[in-house]
Amino acid sequence: MREVAQEERAGLSLGPLDPLDPYALAEEHGIKVYTLEGLLRFELRDEALSHFTVQSSSSWSAALVPLGSARVIVENESHKLVRRRSNIAHELGHHLLEHSFDGVVLGEDHNRQFDPVQEKQATFMAGELLVPLIAAQRMAYRGWDNERVANTYGVSEQFAQMQMKGPRVRAERAARKYGFA
C-alpha cells in the first residue's frame, strides 16, 4: 500500500516531503468531487442537505460512489477543510486499492456498515498519501510538534498525531540509544 501511495504522489510530481492536494489526485483519476450542496442541482432535497450539514453533520463525512464504471466522491462541506482533505484521501484509498462496493450494507438502524479491513486499509492509504512515513520520520527526528506537521501538510493535529506516533517513538529510542536525548 505504501508503494501505491508513493507512485500516486510521484504521478503528481511530488516528492516524499511535499504536501499532497487530494482534490488534485481525484482529478488525476477522473473522479469528480461534489459537496452535498452541489448535489442540489441533481435534485438532492433541502431536508437531506440540512440533515447532513446541520442537524447530524458528524454522522457522515464522504463517500466514494460508483456510477457505472465511473466513480465520484461526495463530501460533507460542513466539516473543516483539514477533515475534508483527509476524507477525500480516505475515499481515494478505497479507489486506489480497488475495494469492491459489495461490502457496504445498510443496517437495521439505517447506518452504513463497512468491511473493517477495507476501512483500515483506506485509512492507512490516506495517511501515506497526506503524510508519508518518510516525511513523518524526518519530522520526528527534527522534533516537529503536531501543530507544525498539521500546518505543513494541511491535516488536523489529530491526523498529524496519528501519523507521527510511530516515527516519534523510533526517534526517541534512537536519541536515547545514541545519547542525543
Do 30 and 114 belong together in one domain? Answer: yes
Predicted pLDDT at 63:
86
Per-residue confidence at 30, pLDDT binned at 50, 70, 90?
very high
Query: Is 95 found in the same domain as 7?
Result: yes
Average per-residue pLDDT in the chain? 88
**Angle at 123 (CA atoms; ends 149, 73), nearest 5 degrees:** 100
- Work out how many domains the chain is built from and give that number: 2
β-bridge partners, 112: 106
Axis-axis angle for helices 81-96, 116-130 (nearest 10):
120
Whether residues 154 and 67 share a domain: the answer is no
Residue 99 confidence (pLDDT) above 70: yes
Residues 89 and 34 in one domain: yes
Same domain flag for 95 and 153: no
Cβ of 73: how many Cβ atoms within 10 Å? 22
Cα–Cα dist 170/17, whole Å: 19
Q: pLDDT tens digits for 118-167? A: 999 999 999 999 999 999 999 999 999 999 999 999 999 999 999 999 99
Same domain, 120 and 152: no
Same domain, 59 and 97: yes
107 and 52 together in one domain: yes
- pTM listed for this prediction: 0.87
- Kindly indicate the confidence band of residue 110, based on its pLDDT and cuts at 50, 70 and 90: very low
Q: Are residues 106 and 168 in the same domain?
A: no
- Distance CA(140)–CA(135), nearest Å, equals 9
Instruction: Print the domain residue range for 154.
Output: 132-181
Length of the chain: 181
The answer on 82 and 109 residing in a single domain is yes
Angle at alpha carbon of residue 145, lines to 143 and 148, rounded to 5°: 110
